Amino acid sequence: MAQVIQRLMLAQTMIQTDNHTLATAQARRCLVIHNPTAGRRRKKRMLAVVERLRELGCTVTAMQTTQRGDAEAFARAASADDYDVIVAAGGDGTVNEVVNGMVAGTGGVALAVIPLGTANVLALEIGLDPKDEERIARAIAHGPARTIHLGVANGRHFVLMAGAGLDAHVVEGVNIALKRATGKLAYVVESAKQAFGYDFPEITVRANGEIYEGRMAVACKGRYYGGPFIAAPGASLESPKLEVCILPKTGVAGVMRYGLALPMNRLSDLPEVMVISAESMIIQGPRGAPLQGDGDIVARLPAEISIARETVQLIVPE
């Protein structure tokens, strides 16, 4: 860890003093792990960023996934002897895989992102516009590193959030073809479908010696949820705490209420919504019900969720 910070700081100093020296001598060695199925197949954007990284003096090795699990395996095998930065080129699910590979690997490598997904919540958290190729490349090449804390749910790490209840069922049920064709609209369609068929079983959160009851619970590491929508205003990637949103309402009325409050950034202001801060918790509900982490199903209930021992160095824009 100290080694990676030192190396990144050195690169940082070099750029402030002498751009040319950084481009030739202190350029970051990047492993780009690309999920070609993420988002609406934005390969052009990925290639443009890679080209710019090379112009900025970085060495770039690109690997493409062919199936779920590849990104994790590639990241696990990446050593600090060969790379300074692993760049997750995909959506938040790809970032999640890369991070799980990094924490299982030898360490000493930082994380960066080329956001190509549907929601790109991590990019939003660090103020990176997915369309701004120049800024993405500059961040990867020269950006500072921040230490971020991860969550872990039943042994699986997550960067942004882990949720149980309707949202996990929506993630599990969303039509992938529709998601590729329409992006976020597919989640709206699936939420509407689920609102009529889902029976909203009770979800309990045991944390800080208390038991909280609701119908949906989301343990947030980041502030944003599903897009540029703030669900947990007090959450921070850099904080070793989880902010847990517990939503009690059921049925179509509840889904509409929360579905309207979220884009207005008013979710946590609703009187019945509880937001608690915790380092660890147990989320219970129907045994085997899905738990989504960073937008993919990562575990089943009951879920033990806590702040992970491991941290990650995340490259952010200057």
CB-based contact 296:162 (threshold 8 Å):
no
**Dihedral sign computed on CA atoms, order 168, 43, 80, 132:** negative
User: Does the footprint of ligand ATP cover residue 226 (CB under 6 A)?
Assistant: no
Comparing CB distances to ligand ATP, the nearer of 17 and 66 is 66
User: Does the footprint of ligand ATP cover residue 191 (CB under 6 A)?
Assistant: no
Report how far residue 249's alpha carbon sits from residue 188's, in angstroms, rounded to the nearest whole number. Answer: 18
- Please select the residue that binds ligand ATP; options are 94, 191, 204, 292, rule is CB under 6 A: 94
Comparing CB distances to ligand ATP, the nearer of 94 and 191 is 94
User: Does the footprint of ligand ATP cover residue 35 (CB under 6 A)?
Assistant: yes
For residue 6, CA distances in Å to 11, 43, 108, 214, 230 come to 9, 33, 10, 45, 34
For residue 179, the one-letter residue type is K
- Please select the residue that binds ligand ATP; options are 39, 143, 165, 293, rule is CB under 6 A: 39
User: Does the footprint of ligand ATP cover residue 177 (CB under 6 A)?
Assistant: no
CB-based contact 134:52 (threshold 8 Å):
yes
Q: Which stretch binds ligand ATP (CB under 6 A): 61-69, 140-148, 222-230, 248-256?
A: 61-69
Question: Cis link prior to 302 (omega < 30° from 0)?
Answer: yes
User: Does the footprint of ligand ATP cover residue 217 (CB under 6 A)?
Assistant: no
CB-based contact 182:193 (threshold 8 Å):
no
User: Does the footprint of ligand ATP cover residue 100 (CB under 6 A)?
Assistant: no
Could you tell me how many residues of this chain bind ligand ATP (CB under 6 A)?
Answer: 23
Comparing CB distances to ligand ATP, the nearer of 93 and 248 is 93
3-state secondary structure of 298: strand
- Please select the residue that binds ligand ATP; options are 57, 93, 165, 293, rule is CB under 6 A: 93
User: Does the footprint of ligand ATP cover residue 84 (CB under 6 A)?
Assistant: no
- Please select the residue that binds ligand ATP; options are 118, 191, 268, 292, rule is CB under 6 A: 118
Kindly report the backbone phi and psi dihedral angles of residue 64, in degrees, each rounded to the nearest multiple of 5, phi listed first.
-110, 135
User: Does the footprint of ligand ATP cover residue 20 (CB under 6 A)?
Assistant: no
Shortest distance in whole angstroms from residue 130 CB to ligand ATP: 10
User: Which residues contact residue 14 at a Cβ distance below 8 angstroms, ignoring those fewer than 6 apart?
Assistant: 21, 22, 25, 26
Binding site for ligand ATP (CB under 6 A): 35-39, 65-68, 70-71, 90-94, 97, 117-120, 295-296
